[in-house]
Amino acid sequence: MSFDATVLTMFPEAFPGPLGVSLIGTAWREQGLWTLETVDIRAFSKDKRGFLDDTPAGGGPGQVMRADVIASALDSVERRGRPLLYMSARGRPLTQARVKEWAAGPGVIVLAGRFEGVDQRVLDARGFEEVAVGDVVLAGGEVAAMLTIEACVRLVPGVLGQALSLSEESFEDGLLEHPQYTRPRTFEGRDIPPVLLSGHHAEVAKWRAQQREETTRERRPDLWAQHLANQQAKGA
């Protein structure tokens, strides 16, 4: 069973973008491990000019995407048990845990909004989950949709083919990844840490674990606090 991604967008020409290159692109075009479909929302507008937005109820700046147009676009797609995701700055944060859940399923259907957003009624009526890729506001949801799909697809079995490598990445166990090094041995006066060249696998593993903890504590105190809580719970 492949992972099937469908994107509802005003700009289907933006895809596949980075999803079409490297191992992920090969897994799509040549191996068929996942699929990508785009649906042009404009095609479902009843306005002869293709308009799919209107002024906000209650007044205010900008335009809002119409519920009826979004619903028609979505209803043209076979859902097949796939979750509906709406990329939104007001959504719940995208996490690796959620990505793993979606990657293990049949795929995702992603709505990439524009303007001031989408009429809330269609989100509620169709059961969309609002997802935020960060504490930022983008001009549209296409980039966020690509990010979400890539995060899922790279976990599909066979796409990257490095299960051990995936297990040691950031967020997999609540900690950030350790720093990486390769040749040359010395770069602009900076050497590769000697322990990585020692050949002592146990010492290398210990050093990497320490680096992961230090990096997480310094850069993501929220993750570090959660890690400590989890460790205490395990020891209780």
Entry pTM: 0.91
Same-domain pairing of 107 and 211: no
Position 197 scores a pLDDT of 97
CATH for 76? 3.40.1280.10
Position 146 scores a pLDDT of 98
What average pLDDT does the structure give for the chain? 94
Q: Taking residues 149-176, report their average pLDDT.
A: 81
Domain enclosing residue 19, as ranges: 3-153
Taking only the tens place, the pLDDT of each residue in 2-38 is 999 999 999 999 999 999 999 999 999 999 999 999 9
Structure tokens at 143: 């980039």
Same-domain pairing of 179 and 130: no
DSSP 178: P
Contacts of 83 (CB under 8 A, 6+ apart): 102, 105, 108, 109, 129
Q: How many domains does the chain divide into?
A: 2
Does residue 64 have a pLDDT over 50?
yes
Same-domain pairing of 100 and 208: no
Taking only the tens place, the pLDDT of each residue in 102-153 is 999 999 999 999 999 999 999 999 999 999 999 999 999 999 999 999 999 9
Same-domain pairing of 16 and 74: yes
Same-domain pairing of 180 and 135: no
- Residue at a domain's end among 153, 179, 204: 153
If pLDDT is split at 50, 70 and 90, which confidence band does 163 have? Answer: low
Compute φ and ψ for 140, nearest 5 degrees. -165, 175
Structure tokens at 214: 């230090």
